[in-house]
Amino acid sequence: MVLYEREGKQLLNTYRISIPRGVIAAHVDDTALGAWDTFPCIVKAQVLAGKRGISGGVKRANSPDELRSIASEFFSKKICDDTVAAVLVEEAIPFEKEWYLAVTYSTRHRCPLLLFSFSGGSGVEHGKDAFELSIDPLRGFREHHARDFFIQCGIRGKDILSLTACARSLVTLFFDEDARLVEVNPLIKRPDTGELMALDAKIMLDDDAAYRHTRQLGARTILGRWPTDREKAVASIDQGEFYYRGTAGKYIEMDGDIACLFSGGGASISMMDALVSCGLKPANYTEYSGNPPRQKVYELAKIVLSKPGLRGIWIVGGVANFTHVGETMAGIADALRELRPVVPIVVRRAGPYEQEGRCLMEAVASACGLRLSWYGRDVSMTETAAILKNEIGIS
């Protein structure tokens, strides 16, 4: 989960990293805006997308009127294709140095890395040309490693100490909060006090570690908009004690008109490519994997198939290793029986109990008059995209 800037900064602050004084406004009439009395101030649109600064999502206000008009502008449009969730108003901080400091996992080193760059500020790509320090997960962070690291970067004097302290806080936060990314850009040095301060924050938390934390975080956007009712409904399917076993809870709505029900993570992303490259447009992305019970698959299928405006339904999976094709198809058949879609349905699936799955689906098709065709292992998944296109009658 990606945190909004304000959420990230508050987390930083609990790990003793200074942040500017600020208030958050949820809408343009929020009393927090009217009560703000320090000018000039910085007004920042709260969006999940990057490149906000150069996309006009950060502005300086010199008066209450200006503040209100900027906030009003932010709430009325998308910034970086993302809906503005809130507006953050902060004191303007003078600074003499702008750095980039982050902690993230590196697939190259397969361990956490501390990243530091002299060129902080907007427009800096994620630690591009940054210096890197590996953090040993077994032994944790050692200050003398960090001091040596900053010295090698060319830092001198008291900055070595303040950056090391800041790095320690970031690494502690990174581990203790189960983050996947903690990025401060820019990290600035105040000319008056010499204090370091985080002017922006990007924190990504590990969803798989959510069970270890009790956080109350608000809603956030998906693909730049608020989650739809259908998306929210699917998200609840996988909750509960055995959340990690047989998932059916991933669903993202898109602009197209082909309902997709994919089995397995790898199949799902390669079949999205196959669909797009044959000229069809997905109405959604969804994936169930492992061995989800009939009920979970039914709930997922019902929501996927209930999206208005569908022109075709594509139910695709590989030759399964151990997923019970009979059981998962039973869940989909239940949804088909209930919703009776009139558009073409193309299924490609094989694996354990494939014959049972096929019989169930063909029985539903025949009883409800559905335009369903079933393909097994002798036709590749990719080929069935073109078959569906043909069935719909798109040339």
Partner 1 sequence: MSILVDFTTRLLIQGITGKEGQRALGAARLYHTDVLAGVTPGKGGQHVGGVPVYDSIREAMSEHEGVNSTAVYVPPAMARDAILEAIDAGICLINVMTERIPIRDTAYCLAAAKERGIRIVGPASLGIISAGKGRIGVAGGDSPDEIYMTGRVGVISRSGGMMNEVSWQLRRQGVGISTAIHVGGDLLIGTSYADALSMFEQDTETDGVVLFGEVGGDYEAAVADLIAANGFTKPLAIFIGGKFASALPEGMTIGHAGALIERGKGTAQSKEKMLRSVGAIVVDHYEDLSTALRSQELF
Residues of the shown chain interacting with partner 1 in the complex, contacts defined by CB under 8 A: 2, 48-51, 81-82, 105, 107-108, 110-112, 125-126, 136-138, 175, 178, 180, 204, 206, 208-209, 211-212, 223-224, 243-245, 263-270, 272-274, 276-277, 285, 287, 289-290, 317-323, 350-352, 377-378, 380-383
Q: Smaller CB distance to partner 1: residue 170 or 267?
A: 267
Residues 6 or more apart in contact with residue 75 via CB below 8 angstroms: 27, 28, 84, 87
Whole-number Å distance between alpha carbons of 269 and 316:
11
Q: Smaller CB distance to partner 1: residue 111 or 342?
A: 111
CB of 27 to partner 1, least distance (A): 23
Per the CB < 8 A criterion, the answer to whether 101 and 116 are in contact is: yes
Q: Smaller CB distance to partner 1: residue 107 or 193?
A: 107
**Residue 148 is encoded by which pair of tokens?**
């040596």
Cα-atom radius of gyration of the chain, to the nearest Å? 26
Q: Smaller CB distance to partner 1: residue 3 or 364?
A: 3
Q: Smaller CB distance to partner 1: residue 216 or 321?
A: 321
**Residue 41 is encoded by which pair of tokens?**
């101030």
Q: Smaller CB distance to partner 1: residue 152 or 277?
A: 277
Per the CB < 8 A criterion, the answer to whether 200 and 184 are in contact is: yes
- Burial status of residue 50 (CB atoms within 10 A of its CB: 0-12, 13-18, 19 or more): middle
CB of 268 to partner 1, least distance (A): 5
Q: Smaller CB distance to partner 1: residue 242 or 308?
A: 242
Whole-number Å distance between alpha carbons of 89 and 344:
52
CB of 382 to partner 1, least distance (A): 5
Cα distances (angstroms) measured from residue 198 to each of 150, 237, 305, 310 = 18, 38, 46, 47
Tally the C-alpha atoms within 13 A of residue 295's C-alpha that lie toward its C-beta: 2
Q: Smaller CB distance to partner 1: residue 39 or 243?
A: 243
CB of 5 to partner 1, least distance (A): 13
CB of 125 to partner 1, least distance (A): 7
Q: Smaller CB distance to partner 1: residue 341 or 351?
A: 351
**Cα-Cα end-to-end distance for the chain:** 40
CB of 162 to partner 1, least distance (A): 27
Helices (H), ranges, the chain = 5-14, 31-35, 64-76, 143-153, 158-176, 229-235, 265-277, 294-305, 325-339, 354-368, 381-392
CB of 349 to partner 1, least distance (A): 11
How many beta carbons lie within 10 A of that of residue 378, not counting itself?
Answer: 7
CB of 88 to partner 1, least distance (A): 19
Tally the C-alpha atoms within 13 A of residue 340's C-alpha that lie toward its C-beta: 5
Q: Smaller CB distance to partner 1: residue 192 or 378?
A: 378
Q: Is the dihedral of CA 211, 215, 216, 220 positive or negative?
A: negative
CB of 182 to partner 1, least distance (A): 12
CB of 204 to partner 1, least distance (A): 6
Cα distances (angstroms) measured from residue 276 to each of 85, 255, 385 = 31, 12, 9
